[in-house]
Amino acid sequence: MGSEIDDITDRPARPSVGKAIFSGASGLFRCAVDFVYPPVCAGCGVMIGRHGALCPTCWQSVHFIERPFCDVLGIPFAFDHEAGEGGRLVSAKAIADPPRYDRLRAVAIHDGVARRLVHGLKYRDRTELAIMMAAWMQRSGAEHLVQCDGILPVPLHWTRFARRKFNQSAELTRHLAKLSGKPLLPSTLKRVKRTSRQVGLTAKGRQDNVRAAFAIVPGHESDVFGKRLVLVDDVHTTGATVSSAAAALKRAGAAEVTVLTFALAISGPI
Domain boundaries, the chain: 13-53, 62-264
Query: Average model confidence (pLDDT) for the chain?
Result: 84
For position 158, what pLDDT does the model report?
86
Neighbouring-strand partners of residue 190: 215
Q: What is the DSSP string of 197-223?
A: P-TT--HHHHHHHHTT-EEEPTT-GGG
The fold of the 62-264 domain, in CATH, is: Rossmann fold (3.40.50)
Q: What is the pLDDT of residue 1?
A: 43
User: What are 166-222's pLDDT values in tens digits?
Assistant: 899 999 999 999 999 999 999 999 998 776 565 555 555 555 556 678 999 999 999
Angle at 26 between CA 25 and CA 29, to 5 degrees: 85
First CA to last CA across the chain, in angstroms?
79
15: pLDDT confidence band, cut at 50, 70 and 90? Answer: very low
* Residue 26: predicted pLDDT: 47
Q: Are 199 and 176 in contact (CB under 8 A)?
A: no
